[in-house]
Amino acid sequence: EDQVTQSPEALRLQEGESSSLNCSYTVSGLRGLFWYRQDPGKGPEFLFTLYSAGEEKEKERLKATLTKKESFLHITAPKPEDSATYLCAVHSRYSNSGYALNFGKGTSLLVTP
């Protein structure tokens, strides 16, 4: 059974203090690993898709990397506006005819001034 585990559950950083969020996965044949950001009262906002080990994607202060067993979301010099819950998901076989996203529980990030 495909599984996605995110750690830590919650993370508190000072503004400018770089860190990484982890997403470990077990899936029979990776077809895409996705990172989303979710603000309170909003739906998840798509950030990145990674398809193969060694791949990296960047967007402003965020960089996502992928190995055969896990993905990291690196946050460089975070600002208070980076505070959100970050969700990781993999594409899992949902039925004989299709795939859907299998999500982890998320990491709640708080960046203080």
Partner 1 sequence: ETGVTQTPRHLVMGMTNKKSLKCEQHLGHNAMYWYKQSAKKPLELMFVYSLEERVENNSVPSRFSPECPNSSHLFLHLHTLQPEDSALYLCASSQEGVGQPQHFGDGTRLSIL
Question: Per CB under 8 A, which region of 12-20, 42-50, 61-69, 74-82 contacts partner 1?
Answer: 42-50
Q: Is 14 buried (19+), middle (13-18) or exposed (0-12) by CB count in 10 A?
A: exposed
**Residue of 106, 37, 44, 43 lying closest to 78 (CA atoms):** 37
Q: Is 54 in the site for partner 1 (CB under 8 A)?
A: no
Q: Is 42 in the site for partner 1 (CB under 8 A)?
A: yes
Amino acid in position 6: Q
**Where does this chain bind partner 1 (CB under 8 A)?**
4, 31-32, 34, 36, 41-46, 49, 51, 87, 89, 91, 94-95, 97-106
